[in-house]
């Protein structure tokens, strides 16, 4: 299944790599470590050089790459729990504890580096060198989002059996669907059939 980047933040698009239905998690798009790299490239978290290095690292360390795929799925569950609690305006100490554990690991690799224009930006020591390094920017993005004003604009798609997340940056704040052309259209068609 293709990746779609509709959440408005890489951490939300990371969670949106599966469908969160009433029956449970379906259509997991993280079917291999290579698909994880493909997603990170599409999300703009990896440069082509980092992706090439990660692919080589995965060949050299297949067990580590397989473990990273498992860790990515577990991280997706933690992020979904934190975002869902935020959307519902409830507290989840367990989910927050899980996020803090992920962030502590990622923050150990965070550095301030020069950007191509000569300024400074956040960077990562060792990005592309070990298979799990592609998860660090995702966690950082989630923490940045949750600590921003946009956290109040987090929404879950109202589509049946979707569960995708997005930041509602619409002018009136009434966006209901992850994508109007997918979930919005499907819901409108269901209403039309019922009528």
Which domains does the chain carry?
A: 10-194 (1.10.3300.10)
Token pair listed for 21: 């239905």
Tokens 């298979």 identify what position? 131
Q: Are 167 and 8 in contact (CB under 8 A)?
A: yes
Token pair listed for 107: 């923050």
Q: What's the pTM?
A: 0.89
Lowest mean pLDDT among 91-100, 112-121, 177-186: 177-186
Rounded to an integer, what distance in angstroms lies between the CA atom of residue 8 and that of residue 122?
20
For residues 18-45, b (16+ Cβ closer than 10 Å) or e, as one string?
bbbeeeeeeeebbeebebbbbbbbebeb
Say what the pLDDT of residue 25 is.
Answer: 75
Q: How confident is the model at residue 18 (pLDDT cuts 50, 70, 90)?
A: very high
Closest CA to 76 of 171, 174, 163: 163
Closest CA to 137 of 43, 51, 74: 43
The alpha-helical segments, DSSP class H, found in 108-172 are 136-146
Say what the pLDDT of residue 54 is.
Answer: 95
Give me the mean pLDDT over the 139-146 stretch.
97
Say what the pLDDT of residue 76 is.
Answer: 97
Per-residue model confidence as pLDDT tens digits over 39-77: 999 999 999 999 999 999 999 999 999 999 999 999 999
Give me the mean pLDDT over the 181-187 stretch.
64
Say what the pLDDT of residue 128 is.
Answer: 87
pLDDT exceeds 80 at position 10:
yes
């Amino acid at each position: 299944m293709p990746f779609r980047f509709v959440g408005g933040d890489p951490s939300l698009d990371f969670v949106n790599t599966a469908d969160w239905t009433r029956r449970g998690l379906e259509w997991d798009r993280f079917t291999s470590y290579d698909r994880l790299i493909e997603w990170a490239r599409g999300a703009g978290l990896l440069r082509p050089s980092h992706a090439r290095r990660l692919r080589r690292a995965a060949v050299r360390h297949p067990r580590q790459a397989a473990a990273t795929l498992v860790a990515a799925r577990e991280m997706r569950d933690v992020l979904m729990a934190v975002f869902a609690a935020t959307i519902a305006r409830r507290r989840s100490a367990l989910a927050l504890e899980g996020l803090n554990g992920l962030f502590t690991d990622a923050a150990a690799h965070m550095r301030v580096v020069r950007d191509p224009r000569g300024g400074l930006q956040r960077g990562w020591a060792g990005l592309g060198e070990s298979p799990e390094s592609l998860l660090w920017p995702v966690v950082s993005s989630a923490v940045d989002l949750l600590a921003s004003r946009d956290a109040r604009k987090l929404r879950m798609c109202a589509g049946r059996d979707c569960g995708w997340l997005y930041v509602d940056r619409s002018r009136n704040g009434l966006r209901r669907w992850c994508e109007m052309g997918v979930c919005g259209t499907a819901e409108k068609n269901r209403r039309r059939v019922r009528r």
